[in-house]
Structure 1
């Protein structure tokens, strides 16, 4: 991957060129006295929300029953709760 390098003075004068490079996926390193001080990178939006496909894949790998399976009915049954807590006679 090509990296564009420019001084602070050059970055101030050619900021549009630096942004254009970042839009093309090319990082821009800004230097002061020859030493890197900043990097302008392409913006990548972070995913939001739940990745349901990934969650289903992990449940399958771990052997966990999918949501809506029989365990939900058992969990909501008072007899199951009593048995789980050892309250059965």
Structure 2
């Protein structure tokens, strides 16, 4: 995501608005510190875009998932003693 300083944002506001309207987001910063994020209105909110469980039922996790590769890891890093 591009960061634009306030002076450049004021100078090129029309151009930046056009880019945002086409779907490109950007951040406006003051003295290098990010102040605001500009996003297009039709873009889904971040909370809407990150759905928990959206792939539920589409794959399975093996029962031994937490032990997979254990022997190889122990060989690489030792037993921890």
TM-score (norm 2): 0.48
Higher relative contact order (CA 8 A, sep 6+): 2
